[in-house]
Structure 1
Amino acid sequence: MTSVFDTPAPNFSIKDAERIASDHFGVNGSADSLVSDRDQNFWIKSPNRNFVLKISNSMEDINVLDMQNEAMQYIYQKNPHIDLTHPIESNSGQKILQIEKNKICYSVRLLKYVDGEFLKDIEYGSDLLFDLGNFLGCLDLALEGYDHPAAHRTFVWNTRCTNELYSQIAQNKTDQKMISHYLDLYNKQVLVNDEHLKKMIIHNDGNDQNIIINSSRKITGIIDFGDMIYSYRVLEPAVSMAYVAIEKDNPLPLIASILKGYNEIMPLNIYELKSVVYLMCLRLCISISMATYRKKMFPKNKYL
């Protein structure tokens, strides 16, 4: 089945991006390409404000984009201190435009640019990671009560949807044994307690490339709601823990800090605490499998 993961990312030029910003949003500025996985992003620098022009993969469901837009507004209404992007209305009053290129239709949004540094670009330790856990807890606290039909889609980056992972490892002999091991642990240690694990819509991608830090080394914002999904609440810190763990030689005290910080804001029950390490490991398995799968299809994609 064709999806955003096996369809090439959009291929608009710098001039295309500048023209779209000007013609459809009344924003005149210079564009620079930003790295992206399955979409195409441009940094639009105008004299007064900066923006991100986001051109979604042609196979992206517009309902998923609508969910992201609504979620950002929902979070802002409940906690305006979280620095988020949000869509800018076009000249015609639309938050999502449909633009055609080479007979293919793409959904396009102009988003507020979030100022600051990425967590990946600074040195950090346990204290800042505790703050990261706190921040993710505040984010989910603001998301409580939000729902949208698109959040309940089948999605490979949701650890509750393992069928796609089983399908991928059947073709990935290199990692098959390792990933099968963690799938077995997930079934025995997490899935059996499914009824005890709280579920909600989560951001689902709190890695250090999406977390924004201000000049005072305070975590202020988060970007990229593309993997937002209805899943286990405890998956939120587990995802962040996974990407910290893969980068560090001694990750245990660091990932523990994230979990402690999250738990301070969103107290987790005993079943969630027992599940988090298995969810963390399964998220890493999905990352490995997806990278292998997509690198074969798109070897020139610098993000992978």
Structure 2
Amino acid sequence: MGVCNDVVTEGHVGHRKGSQALDTDTPVSAASSEAYFRAATAILAMRPGSSEPDLSAALLKRHYGLTGPIATLSSEIERTVEVNLSDGRRLILKMSTRPEAVGSFRFQAAAMAGLQGAAGFVAPEVLRTSNGSLMFEQEGVCGYLQTRLEGIPLHQATPTPDLLFRTGSALARLDLALDLVSVPAAHRPVLWHVGCWSRLMELEQYLPSGTVADSVRVAMDNYVEFVEPQISNVAWQITHNDPSPFNMMVTGQEMGFIDFGDGCWSPRIQDLAIAASHVVKDPTIALGGAEYLIAGYASVIPLSALEARLLVGLMRARQSALILINYWRSHLFPADAQYIKKNVARAEHGLSILAPLGVDEGEAAVLAAMSSFHP
């Protein structure tokens, strides 16, 4: 989630200017500032939104004229509920009483609305309010209503090479579509933004001592020394920024993508690095099985030479960021630790597989993946 207004106003642009590009040559500068990091950290240090009063039934009736049984869903920040209408439709209502939620909801609703009609993947549809708006803001409460995608989350599916290839190619098509979408609040503070990663070792004290902490330290040192100085030279655009196995769906149509709450202006390859980092499982393969997802993505958007060289470092840094942030938040909110840490074991295992790879070995593995696998 982000703040109501774009407190970070500096623009971002890489070597390829997309629809959201602004006039600057330092795309990571604003998001790597101390002010951005502190604002983003403060947002995730707030108590989860489930403690807010449940206004969902009243809001649904007031702003959409709808009624139906409501069930609360797991969510780390805002309150999220499922609504079952009498006509069989299943909807998701997201709402919050926090001022900083406005920017995040504006981004999410606009992004999903802009993706409608795009080919090669599916995303939820945003339902407009009774007055035709993408979201509602009234009396200190804001939110939006969307359709619920029917399918199986990727983490519950068997990760066959073919499925991972299809996932990667669908993710690339999502990025192509997002590059054409105009959204507000794209530069709001998001702790998961790559610009924050060089400061995340402040959270090291919350890690358990041992090999995990050691691997995180090495990966983040590599990111700061090798990846971060070059990250402004790859393509930047609006990205999903959290294509985890919980946010990618195997549907009866194309692959589906949900939860755009961490979306922002960032390196395009970031979406690939995040998705690939989550499917590193097999220690007998150089990239742990992420080869297939990488190949699928590259079949739609070929990687530049620099992107291929930086990808493994970005994957390791993302795994480390996930570990750092979620151990810290679990310390803050122990009652919610199980949900907060749902991806941590996967990240720790994946990081252990990628840890031995140097820059040259990682680049070679990515290039081999791009050229060797086709379903």
Corresponding residue for 1:63? 103
Q: Are 1:266 and 2:301 matched, yes or no?
A: yes
Q: Secondary structure at 1:296's aligned position in 2?
A: helix
Identity of paired residues, percent? 24
Q: State how 1:143-162 maps to structure 2 within 5 Å.
A: 143-148=178-183, 150-162=185-197
Deviation (angstroms), 1:64: 2.7
Would you identify which runs of 4 or more consecutive aligned residues in structure 1 move more than 4 Å? 12-15, 170-173, 247-251
Of 142, 158, 163, which residue of structure 2 is paired with 1:123? 158
Of 101, 108, 112, which residue of structure 2 is paired with 1:72? 112
Q: Indicate if the aligned counterparts of 1:4 and 1:58 stay in contact, CA closer than 8 A.
A: no
Q: Indicate if the aligned counterparts of 2:50 and 2:75 stay in contact, CA closer than 8 A.
A: no
Distance 1:273 1:221, change over 3 A: same
Q: Secondary structure at 1:271's aligned position in 2?
A: helix
After TM superposition, the score normalised by the length of structure 2 is 0.71
Corresponding residue for 1:230? 265
Number of corresponding residues: 296
Distance 1:290 1:46, change over 3 A: same
Q: Secondary structure at 1:204's aligned position in 2?
A: coil
Corresponding residue for 2:355? none
Corresponding residue for 1:93? 132
Deviations 1:144-194 (A, max 9, x none): 244546222342212232244133226657365433311221123312323
Q: Report the RMSD for the aligned CA atoms in angstroms.
A: 2.6
Q: Secondary structure at 1:150's aligned position in 2?
A: coil
Corresponding residue for 1:296? 331
Corresponding residue for 1:255? 290
Q: Are 1:180 and 2:217 matched, yes or no?
A: yes
Distance 1:288 1:131, change over 3 A: same
Q: Which amino acid aligns with 2:64?
A: F
Distance 1:279 1:15, change over 3 A: closer
Q: Secondary structure at 1:244's aligned position in 2?
A: coil
Q: Are 1:26 and 2:65 matched, yes or no?
A: yes
Deviations 1:84-125 (A, max 9, x none): 11322223433322356xxxx342211112222212222121
Deviations 1:201-242 (A, max 9, x none): 111111111112124xx6431100011121111111110111
Q: Are 1:114 and 2:149 matched, yes or no?
A: yes
How many angstroms apart in 2 are the aligned matches of 1:253 and 1:193? 25
How many angstroms apart in 1 are the aligned matches of 2:328 and 2:99? 18
Corresponding residue for 1:4? 43
Q: Which amino acid aligns with 1:207?
A: S
Q: Indicate if the aligned counterparts of 1:125 and 1:254 stay in contact, CA closer than 8 A.
A: no
Q: Indicate if the aligned counterparts of 1:99 and 1:108 stay in contact, CA closer than 8 A.
A: no
Q: Indicate if the aligned counterparts of 2:110 and 2:182 stay in contact, CA closer than 8 A.
A: no
How many angstroms apart in 2 are the aligned matches of 1:167 and 1:268? 32
Distance 1:93 1:28, change over 3 A: same
How many angstroms apart in 1 are the aligned matches of 2:241 and 2:166? 17
Deviations 1:1-38 (A, max 9, x none): 56330112223789742332223311111011211122
Corresponding residue for 1:43? 82
After TM superposition, the score normalised by the length of structure 1 is 0.87
Distance 1:125 1:93, change over 3 A: same
Q: Which amino acid aligns with 2:243?
A: G
Q: Indicate if the aligned counterparts of 1:17 and 1:42 stay in contact, CA closer than 8 A.
A: yes
Of 190, 210, 214, which residue of structure 1 is paired with 2:247? 210
Q: Indicate if the aligned counterparts of 2:277 and 2:315 stay in contact, CA closer than 8 A.
A: yes
Q: Which amino acid aligns with 1:166?
A: M
Q: Secondary structure at 2:329's aligned position in 1?
A: helix
How many angstroms apart in 1 are the aligned matches of 2:312 and 2:234? 14
How many angstroms apart in 2 are the aligned matches of 1:171 and 1:14? 31
How many angstroms apart in 2 are the aligned matches of 1:43 and 1:80? 26
Higher mean Cα deviation, 219-228 or 132-141? 219-228
